[in-house]
Amino acid sequence: MITRSRQVALALTALLTAGAACQARDHEPPKPPAPAPSAADTGAFTLVASGDVLPHDSIIERARYDAGGTGYDFRPMLAGARPVVARADLALCHMETVYGANGDYSGYPLFKSPPEVAEALAATGYDGCSTASNHSADDGADGIRRTLDALDRAGVRHAGTARTEAEAEADMATVLRAGRAQVAHLAYTLHTNGHPLPADQPWAVGLIDEARIVEDARAARKDGADVVVVSMHWGTEWQDEPDQDQLALARSLTAARTGDRPDIDLVLGTHAHVPQAYEKVNGTWVVYGMGDQIAGEMVNDEGVRDPRGNQSAIGRFTFAPPGRAGERWKVTKAEFVPQLFDVDAGRVVNLNRAIDEGADLRAVRDRIRDVVLSRGAAEDGLVMGR
């Protein structure tokens, strides 16, 4: 076997002795095949998305404990998700609550979270978050302003709520860079729990309206977006299966096209508190519900402690550029990563990693897997990732 160093020596000898060069070339082994191009070389990128960040009172207390009693530190809670989140080219979270200030913080039913949550999201690797939810109006215009101000300071982009009408119009789609792709992120919620939107500010929270969503997606595409991602705060709480409204809206949104190209490339669902199915609808991946990534001990709508409220699945999608300009970026790999929020430890747990380390959590992991795959996503290539 001729080593690489031996090949180099032969090449140098060939340069010095013309006659020997011909003979050396005749006897050199064929060059090894070139390595396959990396994802970065092909222009592909990975997008990761996770479920609701919902700081109940117990979560706020835990963050204060993790900060040593002074301030609030949410970074340890999210550390278990960082290996998946930080490695993605683009990572999106769902910030369900608004932020308070100067120690005026609260959990359910009117949430006002410490703004240090934003710093933890940035430290975990999130690039942006959807902020349209049923709790967006919990503290009126001030809550929205404080939330977006804190995310801005932390360098985390946001979509779904706005401080001014100009911001709402200009940032209807938040555009993020993933490799060489421009990704537009839009976000909407079904309602705001009956709380009115801030006075004279109907634009403050993006509300679900099919015609508006399609119009916004088409505008984002016209402005140069290669991939359009829509976050939807929708569905029926505590229901594993997507409800009929989710199914109907998913069909309509994924059927919307301009020419031969779909207007929306990925739909990400939150709100139900429990993981729901992933499904490919009209050729487009829809995540009906990712579950709660962070939440306190959850009680369901029957008043019973329900561990499903602390289970979730991170979605991870690899997009590859089209062969010709103007065609669709395609998902070449679709994955889900099952997670658990350990309410006793106050930590996000990657279930596959924990099982590898000997934790007795296989039943929880398998339940999430069964729900995620319940609408046939495995047949369309969805796999469980790590």
38 part of a folded domain? no
271 part of a folded domain? yes
- pLDDT at 17 (0 to 100): 36
362 part of a folded domain? yes
177 part of a folded domain? yes
Pick from 243, 312, 329: nearest CA to 273: 312
37 part of a folded domain? no
Whether residue 171 sits in one domain with residue 111: yes
Q: What are phi and psi of 162, to 5 degrees?
A: -150, 150
CA-to-CA separations, 73 to 102, 153, 311, 369, in angstroms, rounded:
15, 16, 22, 31
7 part of a folded domain? yes
Question: For the chain, where are the alpha helices, taking DSSP H only?
Answer: 4-16, 18-27, 39-42, 57-66, 75-78, 82-85, 116-124, 140-154, 165-170, 210-222, 244-255, 351-356, 362-372
- pLDDT at 325 (0 to 100): 86
Q: What are phi and psi of 260, to 5 degrees?
A: -95, 5
* High-pLDDT (> 90) share of the chain, %: 87
- pLDDT at 40 (0 to 100): 54
- pLDDT at 41 (0 to 100): 64
Whether residue 177 sits in one domain with residue 74: yes
Whether residue 106 sits in one domain with residue 14: no
39 part of a folded domain? no
Bridge partners (DSSP) listed for residue 287: 268, 278
Whether residue 50 sits in one domain with residue 6: no
Spatial separation of the C-alpha atoms in residues 196 and 140, rounded to whole Å: 8
Mean pLDDT score, 249-271: 98
Whether residue 183 sits in one domain with residue 52: yes
- pLDDT at 25 (0 to 100): 38
Which tens digit of pLDDT belongs to each residue from 102-140? 999 999 999 999 999 999 999 999 999 999 999 999 999
Higher pLDDT, 340 or 3: 340
Spatial separation of the C-alpha atoms in residues 231 and 176, rounded to whole Å: 14
- Categorize the per-residue pLDDT at 295 as very low, low, confident or very high, splitting at 50, 70 and 90: very high
Mean pLDDT score, 239-261: 97
40 part of a folded domain? no
Give the chain's domain count: 2
- Categorize the per-residue pLDDT at 42 as very low, low, confident or very high, splitting at 50, 70 and 90: confident
CATH number of the domain that 163 lies in? 3.60.21.10
- Is pLDDT of 12 > 90? no
Whether residue 171 sits in one domain with residue 143: yes
- Is pLDDT of 354 > 60? yes
Whether residue 126 sits in one domain with residue 20: no
Mean pLDDT score, 53-60: 98
- pLDDT at 128 (0 to 100): 98
- pLDDT at 169 (0 to 100): 85
Whether residue 52 sits in one domain with residue 14: no
CB 290 within 8 A of CB 233: no
CA-to-CA separations, 194 to 98, 129, 164, 200, in angstroms, rounded:
16, 23, 22, 16
CB 42 within 8 A of CB 281: no
Whether residue 137 sits in one domain with residue 20: no
- pLDDT at 26 (0 to 100): 41
Which tens digit of pLDDT belongs to each residue from 67-110? 999 999 999 999 999 999 999 999 999 999 999 999 999 999 99
- pLDDT at 359 (0 to 100): 97
Mean pLDDT score, 317-333: 95
- pLDDT at 172 (0 to 100): 72
Cis peptide upstream of residue 33 (ω within 30 degrees of 0):
no
The mean predicted confidence, pLDDT, of the chain is 91
- Is pLDDT of 233 > 50? yes
- Categorize the per-residue pLDDT at 149 as very low, low, confident or very high, splitting at 50, 70 and 90: very high
Whether residue 264 sits in one domain with residue 223: yes
Which tens digit of pLDDT belongs to each residue from 213-232? 999 999 999 999 999 999 99
Which tens digit of pLDDT belongs to each residue from 194-214? 999 999 999 999 999 999 999
- pLDDT at 171 (0 to 100): 63
- pLDDT at 170 (0 to 100): 77
DSSP state of 81: G
Range of the domain at 26: 1-32
Whether residue 266 sits in one domain with residue 137: yes
Whether residue 137 sits in one domain with residue 12: no
Six-digit token string for 103: 């120690």
